[in-house]
């Protein structure tokens, strides 16, 4: 077997923390001692803690025995810093358990006191590892309690979601209220238009009343004219009678003229002897002249009455035309008044319907206002519950952080103790190495046991690393799940707050 091409031990110097670097050097010397104690030749390559674990960090410890010179080369591949301390503790525990098995098989060995001390330290380290496991179980229980708290928070969130659904129903009711308010505004506008229309109709009614009063005044005027016309007709009839009297007067006057001629002829015939008859005829003649004068006056009066009758006739014709026009206007006014009465009745019915709808809208608005107040109260309760859920989440986060800090502190303390114990064990291992060099020939069987123990240690370390890997992965997944749940709760809380704010704004 040729010399190895591995890197020297100083490969680990710059990548490890001081305590871990010292413990790895002690492991190197311990394995070198065990390799030199072998009488069958060099050991096969020893890998302790091989494989991926602890969030992607890898620890490999390789030991080899080359030719007649003993030399052990360690490779430590470190990613993301000093998280190897816990792996270092696992490796130390496995090696100490292997040494304990050798000690139990070799009770007669004269090196038992020193080796027994080393084994006792290994047992002590194992117990400390068990304590760390117990603490990890406690941390897992803390994670479980945090999970329960988050489940409670989820229940609260589901309750908040149900409240949000009720808020959605409230939003629908608000939308319905908006529609009713729009209808109310439309009805108010319609009522205002009807009020304007009613005012216009009132003005028209006033105009119609004024026109009716004018019409009645004209009717009174026409009635007076009709009375005057009747008087004129009576005067005309009287004038006709006077004309008839005048015609008779003319006949009488003609008869009187004939009689006077007869009288003068008779007088001329009779002479003075008939003086009394002449006086009688003269008296009759004077009476006839008086009647003639009276008939002349009547004739003048009749002419005047005829002129007045003609004027009254003309005025009567104008009044008849005016009466016909007023009758037409009266029919129009009657039609307008009937139309106005129908419009006023329709406006009354519409006003009554609008009043009924406005009362219904008012009742609906009051109901919606009560429901809105109830929804606001429910929203305040939801806000309080969300605030309490947020406080519970913060408490859980604080407990998780405290658990993480506690684990880190305990891990740091354990690393320091491992470093100190490793240093002490290295010194004792050096003493054992010096004494074991004298008894190399007698330790052939022991070397076989050491090889078997190292193999068992390797298996134990792999199992321990696998368990730690699974535990850490499970803890990390649980923490990620809790963080995701917290983020989900925060997102849902923000969504609920935004939704409630939108509802309040609308």
Please answer whether residues 59 and 473 qualify as being in contact, where contact means their C-beta atoms are separated by less than 8 angstroms.
no
Please say if the pLDDT value at position 418 is more than 80: no
Q: Tell me, what's the pLDDT at 216?
A: 74
pTM confidence score: 0.25
Query: How many whole angstroms separate alpha carbon 73 and alpha carbon 426?
Result: 17
Please say if the pLDDT value at position 283 is more than 50: yes
Q: Tell me, what's the pLDDT at 37?
A: 45
Helix (H) or strand (E) holding 41: none
Please say if the pLDDT value at position 282 is more than 70: no
Q: Which residues contact 160 (CB under 8 A, 6 or more apart)?
A: 382, 385, 386, 389, 492, 493, 496
Q: Tell me, what's the pLDDT at 217?
A: 77
Q: Tell me, what's the pLDDT at 32?
A: 52
Q: Tell me, what's the pLDDT at 288?
A: 61
pLDDT band at 268 (very low <50, low <70, confident <90, very high): low
Average model confidence (pLDDT) across the chain:
62
Query: How many whole angstroms separate alpha carbon 72 and alpha carbon 157?
Result: 60
Contacts 24+ apart (CB under 8 A), 232-236: 232/308, 232/309, 232/312, 232/313, 232/316, 235/305, 235/308, 235/309, 236/305, 236/306, 236/309
Burial class (CB in 10 A: 0-12, 13-18, 19+), 144: exposed
Q: Which is more confidently placed, 271 or 55?
A: 271
Q: What is the mean pLDDT of residues 68-74?
A: 32
Please say if the pLDDT value at position 190 is more than 80: no
Query: How many whole angstroms separate alpha carbon 108 and alpha carbon 248?
Result: 200
Q: Which is more confidently placed, 413 or 128?
A: 413
Query: How many whole angstroms separate alpha carbon 176 and alpha carbon 170?
Result: 10
Q: How does pLDDT run across 91-109, given as a tens digit for each residue?
A: 444 444 444 443 343 343 4
Please say if the pLDDT value at position 31 is more than 60: no
Taking Cα atoms as reference points, which of 474, 382, 495 lies closest to residue 487? 495
Q: Tell me, what's the pLDDT at 211?
A: 73
Q: Tell me, what's the pLDDT at 307?
A: 74
Q: Tell me, what's the pLDDT at 274?
A: 54
Q: How does pLDDT run across 289-320, given as a tens digit for each residue?
A: 666 666 667 667 667 766 776 776 777 777 77
Please say if the pLDDT value at position 381 is more than 70: yes
Please say if the pLDDT value at position 270 is more than 70: no
Residue 59 DSSP label: -
pLDDT band at 398 (very low <50, low <70, confident <90, very high): confident
Q: How does pLDDT run across 335-374, given as a tens digit for each residue?
A: 877 887 787 787 778 778 777 777 877 787 787 778 777 7
Q: Tell me, what's the pLDDT at 106?
A: 39
Tell me the percentage of the chain whose pLDDT exceeds 90: 0
Q: What is the mean pLDDT of residues 140-158?
A: 69
Segment among 59-73, 124-138, 191-205 with least mean pLDDT: 59-73
> Half-sphere exposure of 260 toward its Cβ, with a 13 Å CA cutoff?
13
Q: What is the mean pLDDT of residues 193-216?
A: 74
For the chain, the structural domain boundaries read: 9-155+409-505, 172-381
Q: Which residues contact 426 (CB under 8 A, 6 or more apart)?
A: 25, 26, 29, 30
Please answer whether residues 64 and 73 qualify as being in contact, where contact means their C-beta atoms are separated by less than 8 angstroms.
yes
Query: How many whole angstroms separate alpha carbon 232 and alpha carbon 368?
Result: 81
């Amino acid at each position: 077997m040729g010399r190895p091409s591995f890197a020297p031990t100083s490969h680990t110097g710059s990548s490890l923390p001081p305590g871990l670097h010292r413990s790895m050097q002690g492991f190197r010397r311990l394995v070198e001692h065990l390799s030199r104690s072998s009488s069958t030749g060099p050991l096969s390559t020893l890998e302790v803690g091989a494989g991926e674990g602890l969030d992607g960090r890898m620890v490999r410890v390789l030991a080899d025995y080359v030719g007649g010179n003993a030399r052990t080369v360690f490779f430590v591949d470190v990613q993301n810093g000093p998280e190897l301390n816990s792996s270092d503790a696992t490796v130390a525990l496995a090696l100490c358990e292997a040494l304990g098995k050798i000690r139990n098989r070799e009770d007669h060995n004269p090196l038992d006191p020193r080796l027994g001390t080393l084994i006792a330290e290994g047992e002590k380290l194992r117990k400390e590892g068990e304590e760390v496991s117990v603490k990890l179980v406690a941390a897992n229980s803390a994670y479980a309690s945090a999970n329960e708290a988050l489940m409670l928070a989820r229940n609260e969130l589901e309750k908040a979601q149900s409240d949000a659904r009720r808020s959605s129903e409230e939003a629908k009711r608000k939308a319905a209220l908006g529609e009713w308010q729009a209808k109310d505004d439309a009805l108010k506008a319609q009522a205002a238009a009807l009020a304007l229309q009613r005012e216009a109709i009132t003005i028209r009614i006033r105009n119609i009343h004024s026109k009716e009063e004018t019409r009645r005044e004209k009717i009174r005027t026409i009635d007076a004219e009709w009375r005057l016309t009747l008087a004129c007709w009576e005067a005309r009839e009287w004038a006709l009678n006077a004309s008839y009297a005048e015609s008779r007067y003319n006949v009488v006057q003609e008869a009187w003229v004939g009689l006077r001629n007869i009288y003068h002829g008779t007088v001329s015939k009779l002479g003075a002897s008939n003086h009394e008859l002449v006086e009688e005829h003269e008296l009759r003649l004077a009476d006839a002249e008086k009647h003639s004068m009276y008939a002349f006056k009547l004739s003048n009066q009749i002419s005047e009455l005829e002129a007045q009758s003609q004027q009254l006739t003309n005025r009567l014709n104008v009044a008849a035309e005016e009466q016909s026009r007023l009758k037409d206007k009266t029919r129009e006014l009657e039609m307008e008044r009937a139309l106005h009465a129908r419009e006023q009745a329709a406006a009354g019915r519409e006003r009554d319907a609008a009043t009924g709808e406005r009362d219904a809208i008012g009742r609906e608005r009051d109901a919606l206002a009560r429901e809105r107040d109830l929804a606001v109260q429910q929203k305040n309760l939801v806000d309080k519950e969300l605030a309490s859920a947020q406080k519970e989440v913060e408490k859980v986060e604080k407990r998780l952080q405290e658990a993480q800090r506690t684990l880190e502190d305990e891990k740091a303390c354990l690393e320091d103790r491992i470093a100190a114990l490793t240093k002490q064990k290295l010194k004792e291992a050096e003493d054992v190495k010096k004494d074991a060099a004298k008894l190399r020939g007698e330790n052939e069987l022991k070397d076989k046991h050491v090889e078997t123990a190292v193999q068992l240690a390797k298996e134990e370390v792999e199992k321990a690393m696998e368990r730690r890997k699974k535990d850490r992965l499970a803890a990390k997944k649980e923490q990620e799940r809790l963080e995701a749940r917290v983020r989900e709760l925060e997102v849902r809380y923000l969504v609920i707050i935004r939704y409630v704010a939108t509802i309040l704004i609308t």
